[in-house]
A and B are shown apart, each in its own frame.
Chain A
Amino acid sequence: MRDPALIRMLPDGRRLHLHDGPIDLIIEANGARRAVSAAYEAAARRFVTILDELCSELPLLRTRAQVNSERPRGAVAQRMFAAVEPYCEDCLITPMAAVAGSVAEAILESMTVAATLERAYVNNGGDIALHFAAGKFYKIGMVERPDRPSLFGSLEISAADPIRGIATSGWRGRSFSLGIADAVTVLADCASAADAAATVIGNAVNLPNHPGVTRIPALEISPDSDLGDLLVTRGVDPLSSSEIFAAIDSGARVADALRAQGLIHSSALCLQGHTRVVSPLLAQASIEISPRSLLHA
């Protein structure tokens, strides 16, 4: 039986919670009271059909994206395809790699079209779309392990920065990863681009054939996974410092290349307590890593 979508305010009275199937959004808008309620109403209206739209072309969205692929029809699905397209020649990637960021972005867009807001965010399980009026900013905490969240660092993003999307990927998260990073956080122009890039960089933080890494074909866990029989990470033993550096190096090389191509602005790579920041934007969007993490790095 189809559970209905859930639309409600959180007990704090400020944030909106939208939930449908695997999509769970936490939304907050700031601005004039009337503008905020108009934005929330628009978000809810846009939200109620979004899962059905995606599911109507789910088989296509779960298929490897290629230069000559059939293009999806739905607006959100097109965002997903556009976000993964830059990677499709170099690696196996499906539009699903950008689903969370694309949904966040689409909902945020419906809000900013409906009302003039000072600032707003749509957080889709860690993949976040941001909106600012001039002069506004957000301070954002970063978490390396979703199973035991504690902030390892924070960053401030303001209207002057070109960043409107944040995404985090890691093998401990809800989606599968081919890599071993606990978390790769990416700042990009938009949430869908950040989502796809975080997946790609997360896959690159890796130690191929390392005996301490448990990998299982994705199909064995989830029979309809878009990753098919690719080996996904299910466990990582404690690694030596040199192994950690090697794995982070391999991810950082990819992150640096993506930054050079203008696909991302900056990224933080976390593996077993070590953090590396790949960022040309430290001056503007300042990323602060807590001293404890610095000691490790």
Chain B
Amino acid sequence: MADVFPPDTVRCDACPVLCYIKRGHAGACDRYANLEGQLVRVDPHILLDRAKSQGMPLVPFLEREGDWDGKIMKGQETFVTAIGAGTTYPDYKPAPFIVSSEVEGVDMVTVVTEGIFSYCGVKLKIDTDRHLGPERNLVRAQGEPVGHVTTAEYGSRMLSLGGVHHLTGGSKSEGRVTCETLLALCNGKEVELTIDEGASVCVAAGKPPVVNGQREERMRVGCGSATIGMFAKQWFGKVDDVVVVDDHITGVLSEHQAGKLLGVRETGIAIQGRRSTPGRYFQVAEPGTGWGGTNISDPLTILKPFKAKFAWPHLRLLMVSTTGEQFAYYELDEALRPVEKELPETLKESVGRIRENCEPALTAVLFMGGAGGSLRAGVTENPVKLTDSVKRKLTRVTCGGAPAYIWPGGGITFMVDVTRMPENAFGYVPTPALVAPIEFTLKKSDYAVLGGHVNYVRPLADVLKEKERQRQLVSHAQNPWPLKPHIGSSES
């Protein structure tokens, strides 16, 4: 019978059903599948290998015989993450995996579980000065409300997505789309969001945002006024006046407080727009994609004629944008009209420095969730003790090996940068809720004290034997090694 099947059909021997599985399909259990002719377990369990050198890329590889040589002996170099530790069954995740290992002479225990988070969401920091939409307005995905605009931060706009009310408090499709959106963002995928009375953005963790179809490259160094303040000293004596063009606040050196303090002489310069305080102008032009987020392509259009009472021939003027990407240098002729000249060497450095100080514009995605009662009960018989231990830094919380920030106050509410986690670390259950890996690492002695399930502790070497369902990744170079014993332990 077998010979009539296509050559890349595999026969699964994981159970006596012995399914024939065609390429690209799964067996009757949905757990084993045929991936390009190979039988694979669909839900691999992720282990992290401590990077041998800094800056090593995160390289996934399927383990093969031989890759394990020596690693079982040096157990502390492998950290068992919660990714894939659970099963795919929809309404529960199994009792946690509890793994012991010896690190620097200390017996450590890591409790590994995949948590189902109905209370969760993501915080997005989008590096752009463009107006994305009024604060409090709804953010939508596929037309469904999935979050809202919160505050503008320095050089960035913040969106808050998800949360229990969008996940389970609205319509079925609102919950489903919210769950899909959170899952995609947490797994590093691109998502298109629209903001009521605002922009449409395409965002993905760690990638430049695309606002209304336009990709952001750099964050500005500061607003025009701040740029004057930062660079006034470097310009003083090398140029008579500087205009930093910015859609938010355009700055003018000779009028600005920073220029006044240095004793910069009045130049008779006159700027379009609404003067806020001396040397600071709002609305010099319309917002756009030209200089400093304005629609300006020729900066002279924002200058009115120089006042003859103050200006003088050969006056030197630098105009520059807040990212240093655009700049022009002028000298006044006898009629006090600006004439463009090549940028003098003495000014090149300061313009270059503006550019150097602009960071690449990115989208940051922080997953935020709260570890609830049942999850904590999987760690200890006395859940409040786990909270206490986390708060006292005796227990380290990681998500797929990435460090988690724990909010002060009650409960274990944490945030984690999803780009520090292995790829596709998140899953979902159709409740809807996200499934996120979470690991609690602490000294074995502390674990016993907080009422941990010590009888379920298994040595790392034991876990490593279950090769076939594991996948090893190199730990993210910037993450502290999750198993390193805590400095905080000494306080107990």
Chain A interface residues (CB < 8 Å from chain B): 1-3, 8-12, 15, 17, 19-22, 24, 26, 51-52, 55, 58, 146-150, 174, 220-224
Contact = CB atoms under 8 A, between A and B. Distances in A.
B17 A55 contact: yes
A220 B22 CA distance: 8
Contact of B29 (A10, A21, A52, A223): A21
Given A17-B92, A150-B175, A221-B25, 15 more contacts: A1-B13, A10-B94, A10-B95, A11-B93, A11-B94, A11-B377, A20-B15, A24-B89, A26-B92, A58-B17, A150-B430, A174-B28, A221-B22, A222-B25, A223-B9
B22 A22 contact: no
A219 to B, nearest CB: 9
Contact of A224 (B20, B30, B378, B468): B20
Given A9-B95, A10-B92, A223 B20 contact: yes
B14 A12 contact: no
A22 B17 contact: yes
B22 A223 contact: yes
A221 B34 CA distance: 12
Contacts of A224: 19-20
A177 B452 CA distance: 47
A15 B90 CA distance: 15
Contacts of A174: 28, 30
Contacts of A55: 15-18
Given A11-B94, A222-B25, A1 B468 contact: yes
A51 B9 contact: no
A139 to B, nearest CB: 16
Nearest to A4: B15
8 contacts: A1-B14, A2-B15, A12-B374, A15-B92, A26-B92, A55-B17, A147-B430, A223-B21
A99 B29 CA distance: 14
B248 interface: no
A12 to B, nearest CB: 7
A222 B33 CA distance: 11
A12 B91 CA distance: 12
A125 B94 CA distance: 16
B169 to A, nearest CB: 13
Nearest to A143: B430
A25 to B, nearest CB: 10
A146 B96 CA distance: 26
Contacts of B19: 222, 224
B172 interface: yes
Contacts of A220: 22
Contact of B15 (A15, A22, A146): A22
B27 to A, nearest CB: 7
A226 B475 CA distance: 46
A11 B374 contact: yes
List 9 tightest A-B contacts by C-beta distance, closest first. A21-B15, A55-B16, A22-B28, A22-B29, A223-B20, A148-B430, A224-B20, A149-B430, A11-B378
Contacts of A52: 16
A150 B168 CA distance: 10
Interface in B55-102: 87, 89-96
| Most A Cβ at <10 Å: residue of B16, B19, B89, B176 | B16
A150 B172 contact: yes
Contacts of A11: 92-96, 374, 377-378
A8 B95 CA distance: 9
B5 interface: yes
Contacts of B87: 19
A21 B430 contact: no
A84 to B, nearest CB: 18
Nearest to A10: B92
B90 A51 contact: no
Nearest to B27: A22
| Most A Cβ at <10 Å: residue of B28, B176, B431, B468 | B28
B25 A149 contact: no
B96 to A, nearest CB: 8
Contacts of A12: 92, 374
B148 to A, nearest CB: 24
B13 A2 contact: yes
Nearest to A150: B172
Contacts of B378: 11
B49 to A, nearest CB: 24
Contacts of A22: 15, 17, 27-30
Nearest to A24: B89
Given A11-B377, A11-B378, A147-B430, A26 B28 contact: no
A146 B430 CA distance: 8
Nearest to B171: A292
A150 B430 CA distance: 8
A174 B17 CA distance: 15
Nearest to A125: B89
Contacts of A147: 430
Interface in B418-451: 430-432
Nearest to B429: A149
Contacts of B15: 2-3, 20-22, 51, 55
Given A9-B95, A11-B92, A148-B430, A3 B14 contact: yes
A58 B29 CA distance: 16
A26 B91 contact: yes
Contacts of A58: 17
B14 A21 contact: yes
Interface in B274-294: none
Given A11-B378, A17-B92, A21-B29, A2 B9 contact: no
Contacts of B29: 21-22
A55 B17 CA distance: 6
A223 B5 CA distance: 7
| Most B Cβ at <10 Å: residue of A3, A15, A24, A52 | A3
A223 B9 CA distance: 9
A26 B91 CA distance: 10
Interface string B286-305: 00000000000000000000
A2 B374 contact: no
A3 B18 CA distance: 12
B17 A2 contact: no
Contacts of A223: 5, 9, 20-22
Contacts of B27: 22
B173 to A, nearest CB: 9
B28 A21 contact: yes
